Amino acid sequence: MRIRFAPIFVGILALVALSVSPAGAAGWWLQYSDTSTRLCLDADYHANTAYWAVTEAACKTPVGSGAADQVYQLVPQSNGNVWILSGVAGNLCVGVASGSPNDGAAIFLTGCPAPGTNWFAQEWQVSNVSENPNGSFNVLFRNATSQKCITGTGSGVQLFQQTCDSANPHQVWRQHLKESGCTRCVAAARRG
């Protein structure tokens, strides 16, 4: 009897793993750059504290050339929000430090939650601000809990959340479709 349940148990574990793994998540791995500084979202590991900060750094091109710390995938959730899954090993998602609702709270990477949970305010709403000629979009990443947006200020500086303002170029992030090898994917999908 136990032997019959073993394959079912293994199958369930595989489904749970796929729901948060980069290979099983829907979407493309893309870079996002601050429309003011043109620097990319970058996962920066601090070994002395075992902490992953999300900062801005010069964009690595082409995507896929050792740029795992700069590629992210939007993973849709059943409530319409997304997780922002990092390309670094370990199923890490973008979140807000301590799930804080305050302006200035740090943006960092932490283990992706189980589907249907929202640890460290890791669910985001993505709003299109404008479309680029190649079919990619400039977007705001608004935290679903705090309703504040990811904000950058320059190279090596940890990102933080701040009251959303689509006119603030440090909050508007450009999708890098061309560099990902997907030059017309968004536009083609929209045309249906």
How far are the Cα atoms of 12, 93, 136 from residue 49, in angstroms, in the given order? 34, 18, 36
The span from the CA of 46 to the CA of 56, in Å, is 15
Domain layout of the chain by residue ranges: 2-191
Q: CA neighbours within 13 Å on the CB side: how many for 95?
A: 20
Beta-bridged to residue 106, according to DSSP, are 160
The DSSP bridge partners found for residue 163 are 148
Q: Which residues contact 162 (CB under 8 A, 6 or more apart)?
A: 103, 104, 148, 149, 151, 168, 171
CB contact at 8 A, 84 and 110 = no
What six digits make up the tokens of 168? Answer: 């603030």
- Per-residue confidence (pLDDT) for residue 29, from 0 to 100: 83
Q: Structure pTM?
A: 0.77
- What CATH class is the domain 2-191? mainly beta
pLDDT tens sequence for the chain (192 residues): 444 443 333 333 333 333 333 333 346 788 899 999 999 999 988 766 668 999 999 988 765 566 788 989 999 998 999 999 998 888 899 999 989 999 999 999 988 887 767 777 899 999 999 998 888 899 999 999 999 999 999 898 999 999 999 999 999 999 886 545 444 443 333 322
